[in-house]
Amino acid sequence: MPAFDRAAFDDSRWPLLHLWLPGTLPSHGHEECLGTLAGYLGRGERFLLLVDLSRIGLVPIEQRWRQVEWFEQHERALRERVVGSAIILMSPIVRLSLSAILFFKPLPVPLATFPHLTAAEAWAAERLQEAGLTQASRG
């Protein structure tokens, strides 16, 4: 049974890193998520981040500001290591939250949003290929 207070990371298809958020995280879950993501950046390898925000609701303002701060702290590593970020979004409210975060601190990597996983994975595969990175096959 998945935990609903923490993010799930799947790196089984590295250099594709799939981050799934089961809903709006409590502050401790959000901080844990940021710490785990910083750990992936710390590996020094290039990768593509696929983020599933399809189950997220309204993001608390404190978390939005924390996200901006985290992007600022990790800007160089993001630019050097993340070849792109595919984000699955369904909610207009979440799209607004993401827009607010990116208004204050744009990501230094290519970013695209998608309504479902299939389209996000197709874009991710293209970006990985363009970057000369081989993605592990499923299963």
Spatial CA neighbour of 102 closest among 59, 71, 58, 138: 71
Torsion of CA 80, 100, 85, 16, to 10 degrees: 100
- In the chain, how long is the greatest CA-to-CA distance? 39
Per-residue pLDDT reduced to its tens digit, 95-131: 887 787 778 788 889 999 999 999 999 999 999 999 9
CATH tag for 8-130 (out of 3.40.50.2300, 3.40.50.300, 3.40.47.10, 3.30.750.24): 3.30.750.24
Tell me if 15 sits within 8 A of 100, measured CB to CB: no
Tell me if 75 sits within 8 A of 45, measured CB to CB: no
Per-residue pLDDT reduced to its tens digit, 53-95: 999 888 888 998 898 899 999 999 999 999 999 999 988 888 8
In which band, very low, low, confident or very high, does the pLDDT at 1 lie, cut at 50, 70 and 90? Answer: very low
Q: What's 29-44 look like in SS3? A: HHHHHHHHHHHHHHCC
Residue-level pLDDT at 92: 82
Q: Quick one: residue 70, left, alpha or beta (phi over 0 = left, psi -120 to 50 = alpha)? A: alpha
pLDDT average, residue stretch 10-19? 97
Domain boundaries, the chain: 8-130
